[in-house]
Structure 1
Amino acid sequence: MGGSHSAYSVHRVPLDSRAVHIYTDGSCFRNPGGSSGCAAIVQYPEHLSREDEQIVDFGCSESSNNRMELLACICALRWIRLNSPWPDVSRVQIITDSRYVKDNIIRAQSWRKNDWRNLYGEPVENSDLWRSFLSAFKNASMTVHFEWTPGKKTPILREIDKAAKTAAKRGGTDIDRGFKSGTVARSLFPGAATRFVATGQTAVIRPYRHRPIKKSEWKVRFNVFSEESGKYIASCYALVSPELATGLHRQHGYRVRFNNDPNYPQIVELVEEVSIPNRMTP
């Protein structure tokens, strides 16, 4: 990037006592699609003799945790542009505990060059916010470094966590216009869905969430059912055309055929609807 900005990175390093520190966090109840919010609190270096202040307080009726974590950083960058510089402050450190931000911030430029697709050609989720992030970073008007910290181990980290949850609980005041809710039910497995290993096979699935990523592609999350064991064995995702997506109803069972690309799994055919249990079996 031009100007005095560093390359994109997220570090876990000691904080600079002469820098302005901005703590960010996001929250979503019933993630994704539930009441959501994000917050940011700025701490000034001691030589400025200024009190901490909350600079972001955003609450909406529906979004996702990842979007709120990222939006908090975007809002912080925009605030920097409007409020900097400060005497004897050479940089700003934005502190996040989001692994989503940590893992993807360095990839954003490559996604943009690849028409918002990842290394394997899959469309990138939340590309609207990543566009905004790149623009806000470029125009922040001074050097900004992102720092990653795990957990809520200090008073300020607990404070920003509370502020984000308060905004999410309030919800409704603001609107996340880029959020596409799709249809949502609960997975039978905890944790995030993993990429389905597509090798041209057919499989029985129970969709629990699908939403548009691009006009021509939807992302479907589903539980995989093993007919051999009579049990659900995984939570996965694949891409699908809008036409096929409309036929994959939540909590129904389907035998589907996949393409032959484990790095870019796609459902290419809905073979038939099948009867499957709607809960985990012992």
Structure 2
Amino acid sequence: MAKADGRGRVVAAATDGACSGNPGPGGWGALIRFEDGSVEEFGGADPATTNNRMELQAALEMLERLAELPRHPDLVLRTDSKYLIDGLSSWMPGWKRKGWKTAAGKPVLNQDLWQALDQARLADVPLRYVKGHSGDPDNDRVDQIAVAYSKGTAPRLKRGSQSTPVKAVDPTADDPTSANAPAPAALQQLLTRLELADRLAEGGFALSTVELAQLVEQPLTRLAERQDSWRWRDWLVEPTDGDRWRLRRAEAGSRQSRNPDG
């Protein structure tokens, strides 16, 4: 295990792949969150590929990166690719017994990437399925990165406190007064998180401390110190049994202490 730096351990990871044409030009995206709240994003492109290959490439790049970093014991790799999850968890043992052949006796597609993933997999980092385009902030973000690369543009990537230069995907993006100009990416991501918070509150779903840190974008160490209810934007965050939290819409005029970062 690599030594921890000032960022602490990795608490969240997500990957996605995209392809224009399938086969066609493709891209992949990956995102890592650390205990101190910092984010590291990376991705890449392939001029002639498939969506499945990009999903596998994203996971491979992520696992190789995670192998170099200290990891929180609750860390999971979030992906919307059932192909990736089923391949690693269910299909691969049979492929290997049959000499990398399918049940029909045909060569396994994308064998090179599957074999690399078999070597790179980390026993302490299970895969978890998340439905694509469902409002999951990290899944939406890696999708944006992958799509941008598949279209030949260079997305703005977070690397701790640094960012790489960005190419405008839309010619109106450099003109904030244009009627067609999209909302700034930061506001789009915030809206996604707020919509997700509303659904979590309405459904009464419980979050682990790691998951809550992703939602409110605060260091895990700060949340671990909290014992009582506290306010984040328009929601009360309340502790439940087993180191878990629930969100509840705050009533107007609530006197609960407000999160200074929210």
TM-score by length of 1: 0.48
Q: Deviations for 1:153-202, whole angstroms, at most 9, x for unmatched residues? A: 22222211111101111279xxxxxxxxxxxxxxxxxxxxxxxxxxxxxx
- Say whether the 8 Å CA contact 1:35–1:171 is kept in structure 2: no
Report the counterpart of residue 43 of structure 1 in structure 2. 33
Report the counterpart of residue 155 of structure 1 in structure 2. 137
Report the counterpart of residue 144 of structure 1 in structure 2. 125
1:58-207 matched pairs, under 5 angstroms: 58-83=44-69, 85-86=70-71, 89-106=72-89, 107-137=91-121, 140=122, 143-152=124-133, 153-170=135-152
- 2:37 alignment partner, SS class: coil
Q: Deviations for 1:58-115, whole angstroms, at most 9, x for unmatched residues? A: 11211100000011111111001122x24xx225311110121133222113212211
1:195-234 matched pairs, under 5 angstroms: none
**Residues 151 and 124 of structure 1, relative CA distance in 2, 3 Å threshold:** same
CA distance in 1, matches of 2:92, 2:38: 34
- Say whether the 8 Å CA contact 1:93–1:146 is kept in structure 2: yes
- The aligned amino acid for 2:81 is S
Aligned length, in residue pairs: 144
Report the counterpart of residue 26 of structure 1 in structure 2. 17
Whichever of the two has the greater Rg, that structure is 1
Report the counterpart of residue 236 of structure 1 in structure 2. none
Structure 1 segments (4+ residues) deviating >3 Å? none
**Percent identity of equivalent pairs:** 29
Alignment RMSD, CA only?
2.1
Query: Which structure dedicates a bigger proportion of its chain to strand?
Result: 1
- 1:67 alignment partner, SS class: helix
Q: Deviations for 1:198-254, whole angstroms, at most 9, x for unmatched residues? A: xxxxxxxxxxxxxxxxxxxxxxxxxxxxxxxxxxxxxxxxxxxxxxxxxxxxxxxxx
Q: State the 1:43 CA deviation.
A: 2.0
- The aligned amino acid for 2:144 is K
- Say whether the 8 Å CA contact 1:36–1:171 is kept in structure 2: no
**Residues 119 and 57 of structure 1, relative CA distance in 2, 3 Å threshold:** same
- Say whether the 8 Å CA contact 1:24–1:40 is kept in structure 2: yes
Unaligned segments of structure 2, at least 5 residues:
1-8, 155-262
Unaligned segments of structure 1, at least 5 residues:
1-17, 173-282
- The aligned amino acid for 1:121 is G
**Residues 149 and 60 of structure 1, relative CA distance in 2, 3 Å threshold:** same
TM-score by length of 2: 0.51
Q: State the 1:19 CA deviation.
A: 6.6
- Say whether the 8 Å CA contact 2:79–2:139 is kept in structure 1: no
CA distance in 2, matches of 1:59, 1:147: 24
Q: State the 1:120 CA deviation.
A: 3.0
